[in-house]
Structure formats: C-alpha cells, structure tokens
Amino acid sequence: MSPWLSVPVSLGAAGGLAGALALAAWAPEAAVGTAVGVVILVPLGYFLACTLLPGVEEKTCPRCREDALEPMDPAERYGVRCAACAYEDPDVPTARLGWEPPDRRP
C-alpha cells in the first residue's frame, strides 16, 4: 500500500470501529451484525485498496539518497545499481523501480 494512503485507511478503520461500538452501545441488538460487518468490511476494504491502487516506485538510493537507481542488467529481474555512487544490490527486484524486463512487456 502506498505510504500516503495508510493513514487515511487506518483512520477510516478506527472510525468504523468507533461507530460500530457507539451503535452497539445505543442498540445492543445490532451489536452482532455490526461486529460481523466491521470484521468483514475493514479487511475487504484494505485488500481492495492494496490491490487497486498502484505502489510507489522507489528509485532513491539507500546510501546517497539520490534518485538514481537503475537495473544492473536490463535482461534480469533482480539487481539494482546507483548511477550516482555505484551502490549495488543484486537482491532487489527491478519491479520496485517501475521497470520490467523487455520479455515481460505485453
């Protein structure tokens, strides 16, 4: 999930839970239905938000903090290097850069 979206989703879940508790205190007979609804709808909403909203491309180098990460080898799916400081990490997937190898493009 995008970092900027995690706070509104968490606040929405907390607000839904607070509303459910208030409704349960006001009308105890609705407590079971409200609890079931919250237990089902909050994870479903989180799942849909994570699935339908695109992730953030991370091109910032962990060493020099420049926006200069690029794939080490264009034909591989793993391995990034920083063009600014020559930092290399062969275990990072290139998909995190928003880049895919040519054979994966439609």
Cα–Cα distance for residue pair 13/19, rounded to 1 Å: 10
31 and 48 both lie in a single domain = yes
Residue 75 pLDDT: 80
Q: Is residue 103 part of a domain?
A: no
Cα–Cα distance for residue pair 73/81, rounded to 1 Å: 9
* Nearest partner of 71 among 106, 91, 97, 105, judged by Cα: 97
Q: Is residue 23 part of a domain?
A: yes
H-state helical runs in 1-106: 3-26, 31-52
66 and 94 both lie in a single domain = yes
Find the domain containing 66 and state its range: 58-98
Domain count, the chain: 2
To the nearest whole number, what is the mean pLDDT of the chain? 79
46 and 83 both lie in a single domain = no
Q: Is residue 104 part of a domain?
A: no
18 and 39 both lie in a single domain = yes
Cα–Cα distance for residue pair 58/69, rounded to 1 Å: 8
Residue 97 pLDDT: 77
